[in-house]
Structure 1
Amino acid sequence: MCSCRVSLSDQLGEKSKHETPPISELNRLLWKFTGKSNHLDEVRPGIYIGDLYAAKDKSLLKALNISHVLNAAHGKYNVNTGESFYRGTNITYHGVEAFDTPSFDISSFFYSAAEFIKSTLSTPGGKVLVHCAMGLSRSSTLVLAYLMIEEKMTLVEAISAVAPNRNICPNSGFLEQLRTLDIQLQN
């Protein structure tokens, strides 16, 4: 005789309450996937994550019909591109001056970045490159936040959607901020 209990919500087929996994489980999930590590990779239709080399290769961006660039490493001491760098390319630019340190509060940019990506994808033919220096931490964090905010994914679902298409590695502080966002969005 089984001593297992089945909850009423399980019996009725209702979705059980979402629990955000701890950092250790999220890291294990990230390591599970063997995504690509090119200068840029399409991680979702119309969304590319890349590094500074891709961001500075205007001919590549033109060949891929990239219409928008979200620089998650904007600023003099980061990847110093901007509207003037893309002048004459028809690329719409949005810069976020974020630093890839666990103590940096990148969460203050989650909603503005998500809105920029959403706006890009709602434009006919819109494609966005979200980049930072290496295309691993800051850029992936903002794409994951977009998927959670606008596409209503959990953090685990967002990682599972992106990581098979590109190696991503949000730093521990950014993962914790994404966990907090996941908890807020699920309540």
Structure 2
Amino acid sequence: MSISFRVNPEYAKMSEIVPGLFICGVSALTPDDMKKGKITHIINATTEVPNLRSLGDIQRTKLWLEDTPQTYIYPHLELQSDQIQAIIADGGRVLVHCVAGVSRSASICLAFLTKYRCRSLRDAYHLMKSKRPMVRPNLGFWRQLIAYEQKPFQMQSSFLENPENKQSIRIGSHRCLSERLKINRDGGFLVEGWEENVKENAGSVRLVRDEAQPECLLPDVYLSIAIQPRPVSPDQESVERQSDEPRERRMSGLRPKFQPVLEPLLEITEAVC
């Protein structure tokens, strides 16, 4: 049985984000691309793409994620970040892929960059965008990435054995927020027991309303892309000037007025004499 996907040709290439970490869509899953990138481990972040036998005996991890805002990706962010770090530290090269290499795989890579390579989630996004401009996780993934950035990290990890494929999976020893992260009615994510930390440690990325679609939210790292400044027409400039004039008049009434100092009448009379 053959499976086919429609993918924008722009997404076809494999992109190296940092040394040892690659991201791509299904179009780049070829034996030649694997050899060219010297890939030693593949993280498949999809439900619909099978692990391809044609790629050889490369170690695989399949996450079974759907690209929807309701998908619970949070537990995988730290687990896969630790695993990627362990593989790269041992001299391996990791490829994270989904169908297009835009949302699911990008979220995993952003989590790794945030924890191990960058100072913040915002810096991680800009680094990743410079290497692969089309990355754009869905809003639900952004909510979980923002919550992930605000949690305290512990770098110590332990190894567990995966009984399905008999390969080592690196898992963080810190029992993170995965068990306490719940989906609220609006599709957002609430962290039980960590509300104070989340409020005190403000994240580097905020969700704001899109001016073009006020009913929609988007991360503010998209603002320069999604929202362009509207040009001001000459008529609008004249209206703004007229609206500023009454304000200037009102403000002028608050300024201190010059009050001359008058000498007493007797002193003036003596001066004349």
Calculate the TM-score normalised by the size of structure 1. Answer: 0.70
Assess if the C-alpha contact under 8 Å between 1:67 and 1:90 holds in 2: no
Q: Aligned pair 1:136/2:102, yes or no?
A: yes
The CA deviation at 1:97 is 0.7
Which of 97, 102, 116 is residue 83 of structure 2 equivalent to?
116
Size of the aligned set, in residue pairs, is 144
Give CA deviations for 1:131-169 in whole Å, capped at 9, x if unaligned. Answer: 001100000000000112233531101101111110200
**Which residue is equivalent to 1:49?**
23
- State the TM-score, normalizing by the size of structure 2: 0.49
2:60 aligned to which of 84, 89, 93:
93
- 2: CA distance between counterparts of 1:152 and 1:146? 9
Q: What is the RMSD of the two structures over their aligned residues, measured on CA atoms?
A: 1.9
CA contact (8 A) 2:44 2:62 kept: yes
1:170 aligns with 2:143: no
CA distance in 2, matches of 1:131, 1:148: 18
Query: Which of 1 and 2 has greater Rg?
Result: 2
Question: How far, CA to CA, are the matches of 1:153 and 1:171 in structure 2?
Answer: 22
Equivalent position of 1:67 in the other structure: 40
After superposition, where does 1:14-29 map in structure 2 within 5 Å?
Answer: none
Q: Secondary structure at the match of 2:151?
A: helix
SS in 2 for 1:49: strand
Cα drift, residue 182 of structure 1: 1.4
1:146 aligns to 2:116 (yes or no): no
Corresponding position of 2:123: 157
Would you say the 8 A contact 2:22–2:95 is kept in 1? Answer: yes
Q: Distance in 2 between matches of 1:106 and 1:123?
A: 26
* 1:37 Cα deviation after fit: 3.8
Aligned letter for 1:40? M
Structure 1's unaligned 5+ residue stretches are 1-35
Q: CA deviation at 1:63?
A: 2.1
Which AA in structure 2 matches 1:63? K
Q: Does 1:81 align with 2:47?
A: no
1:80-129 C-alpha deviation (Å, 9 max, x unpaired): 116xx267x342211111110001111111122112211221122x2111
CA distance in 1 between partners of 2:28 and 2:60 (Å):
14
Residues 133 and 37 of structure 1: is their aligned pair in 2 closer, same or farther, counting only changes over 3 Å?
closer
Q: Which runs of 5+ in 2 are unaligned?
A: 1-9, 154-200, 202-273
Q: Is the 8 A contact 1:145 1:178 kept in 2?
A: yes
**1:184 correspondence with 2:154:** no
SS in 2 for 1:102: coil
Q: Label 1:86 to 1:150 Cα distance change in 2 as closer, same or farther (>3 A).
A: farther
Cα pair 1:70 1:94 within 8 Å, conserved: yes
CA distance in 1, matches of 2:121, 2:51: 30
- Find the partner of 1:105 among 55, 58, 72: 72
Q: Which has the higher contact order (CA 8 A, sep 6+)?
A: 1
Secondary structure at the aligned position of 2:135 is classed as: coil
